[in-house]
Amino acid sequence: MVQGTDALYTWSLTDLARGLKDGEFSSRELTESLLRRIDDHQQRLNAFITVTADAALQRADAADKARANGDESLLNGLPIVYKDLFCTKGVLTTCGSRILANFVSPYDATVVERISAAGAVMLGKTNMDEFAMGSSNETSYYGPVTNPWNKKLSPGGSSGGSAAAVAARIVPAATGTDTGGSIRQPAALTGTVGLKPTYGRVSRFGMVAFASSLDQAGVITRSAEDAALLLGVMAGYDKRDSTSVDHPVPDYVAGLSKPVKGLKIGIVRQHFDEGLAAGCEERVKAALAVLKEEGATLIEVDLPNIDLSVPTYYVVAPAECSSNLSRFDGVRFGHRADNPENLLDLYCRTRSEGFGAEVQRRIMTGTYVLSAGYYDAYYLKAQKVRQLISQDFKKAFENVDVIAGPTAPTTAFAIGEKTDDPITMYLNDIYTIGANLAGLPGISVPCGFADGLPVGLQLVGPHFAEETILACAHQYQQLTDWHAQGPEEFS
Ligand code: GLN
């Protein structure tokens, strides 16, 4: 290996791309070193459900060969890992669940297809809350992921494996999905960057569905620049996803140079109430002061119905999940109960054995709110409130370019601390869920530490304003170095 490249795991995706291009190291060298890193830390972190070492090395060799033949594909030879709900052809796709513990996907998700076509090398599939239902990674059938900053703490969820792997400098970038905060919240709790694009910006084809009107694929990286690079590859219309939007994909990396000066930043009055930990509030306010100093204008905005976002979400998301998860019946794929007595017994035992407690709770809630007699009172009402929340954002964006505030109410919490109290767990997403209900893009960037643990600043933009939030995040990262500070244990 060329001198100076022995700590490739600390490099950003952008730097690795440059290094590969300049021939400083090969994709095989890079891939081998990261696979070693996965091996060294899997026991501590439990960030992976599957590691595809052999296939990765083959892909790396192919990438090196292609490069030698003049291939300059954007991600050629660069590493990537996928949250284990992106279907990957010929590779286990468990969704963190026992019910899919034996499911090998016959096709690739569009996200996987696009990232592969750009030349990336998949190293493995990351651990996650079962069916992406959770905020702590504790609902995974494969056991919890631990936070790289402290092994007693949760990395957040549901994309906890992806966030932990990126925070621990194991991989520079990972995919995730965000239905109510599952990219942004773990990013905040691990000191990484988490980008959830506009609903419809990235294809959902081949993602195991949780709540289809809210689910969106995105990325977890260590810089906004890397997030921009990956989003450019993933985004764009896909005819296999009927909610994918045919909207031009800008050059997100080129857009990063847009200055903060003149940007109108909305501060939501309701975001700084008693639910926010003092240490987080202090760090978020300091970050806003940095942006103000740089020439942004801070404007107070009102989201009068935002308090209703958590209850609204916990009607809409379970309703959609109860419908989406009805396909897991032990007949077509996945786990099947042994020796069923009849069809009903097969369904009941398969689903009781295959789904964990949180998933069963959601299916029951969802079935209830959709049932005749309760539909109007719960589901229909929730849909109406969802509209109101969307309108509140729309109104706020008449006066501001982005909305900034905390990503999560606290820093990382202990594993086991909130498992007995679903409501407290659900409140983790109080600042993130609004963007999902309204379909808006959001990003979380590290903005400092409270009691030695990372704090996230969230930026939310209008529909398809990924460029604006990425540029603001990138400019902030030019002025601060919080994102460059990793956990000592993994340095
Ligand atoms: N924590 C939220 C939930 O459990 C959000 C999950 C997600 O975004 N996938 O539903």
**Rounded CA gap, 161 and 151, in Å?**
13
Nearest in space to 369 (alpha carbons), one of 310, 318, 427: 318
193 DSSP 8-state letter: E
Q: Pocket of ligand 1, candidates 131, 207, 429: which has the most ligand atoms within 8 Å of its Cβ, to mutate?
A: 429
CB count in 10 Å sphere of residue 239? 10
DSSP string for residues in 255-302 = GGG--STT-EEEEEGGGSSTTS-HHHHHHHHHHHHHHHHTT-EEEEE-
- In the chain, the amino acid numbered 330 is G
Residues 299-332: tens digit of each pLDDT: 999 999 999 999 999 999 999 999 999 999 999 8
pLDDT at 274: 81
pLDDT at 424 over 90: no
Q: Please give the distance, rounded to the nearest whole angstrom, from the Cα atom of residue 227 to the centre of ligand 1.
A: 21
Residue pointed to by tokens 């009781």 = 352
Q: The domain spanning residue 95 has which CATH number?
A: 3.90.1300.10
- In the chain, the amino acid numbered 26 is S
Residues 255-272: tens digit of each pLDDT: 999 999 999 999 999 899
- Is residue 221 assigned to a domain? yes
Query: Region 415-421: what's the mean pLDDT?
Result: 92
Average pLDDT of the residues of the chain: 96
Q: Please give the distance, rounded to the nearest whole angstrom, from the Cα atom of residue 135 to the centre of ligand 1.
A: 6
**Rounded CA gap, 211 and 8, in Å?**
37
- Give the pLDDT band (50/70/90) at residue 423: confident
From the candidates 159, 182, 223, 444, give the one annotated as an active-site residue.
Answer: 182
**Ligand 1 pocket member 180 (CB < 6 A):** yes
Closest residue by Cα to atom 10, ligand 1, is 133
pLDDT at 251 over 70: yes
For the CA of 133, the nearest atom of ligand 1:
4
CB 198 within 8 A of CB 441: yes
pLDDT at 4: 59
Nearest in space to 56 (alpha carbons), one of 23, 80, 83, 85: 80
**Ligand 1 pocket member 480 (CB < 6 A):** no
For the CA of 181, the nearest atom of ligand 1:
8
- Is residue 186 assigned to a domain? yes
**Ligand 1 pocket member 475 (CB < 6 A):** no
Q: How far is CA 359 from the centre of its chain?
A: 19
pLDDT at 1 over 80: no
From the candidates 26, 83, 159, 203, give the one annotated as an active-site residue.
Answer: 83
**Rounded CA gap, 267 and 288, in Å?**
9
- Is residue 264 assigned to a domain? yes
- Count helices and strands (H / E) in the chain: 15, 11
- Is residue 450 assigned to a domain? yes
- Is residue 414 assigned to a domain? yes
pLDDT at 6 over 90: no
**59 burial type by CB count under 10 A (0-12 exposed, 13-18 middle, 19+ buried):** buried
For the CA of 178, the nearest atom of ligand 1:
8
Provide the domain limits for residue 463.
5-304+395-490
- If one counts the domains in the chain, the total is 1
CB 73 within 8 A of CB 119: yes
CB 419 within 8 A of CB 159: no
**Rounded CA gap, 352 and 346, in Å?**
10
- Is residue 358 assigned to a domain? no
| Helix or strand holding residue 355 (H, E) | none
Active site annotation includes 83: yes
- Is residue 59 assigned to a domain? yes
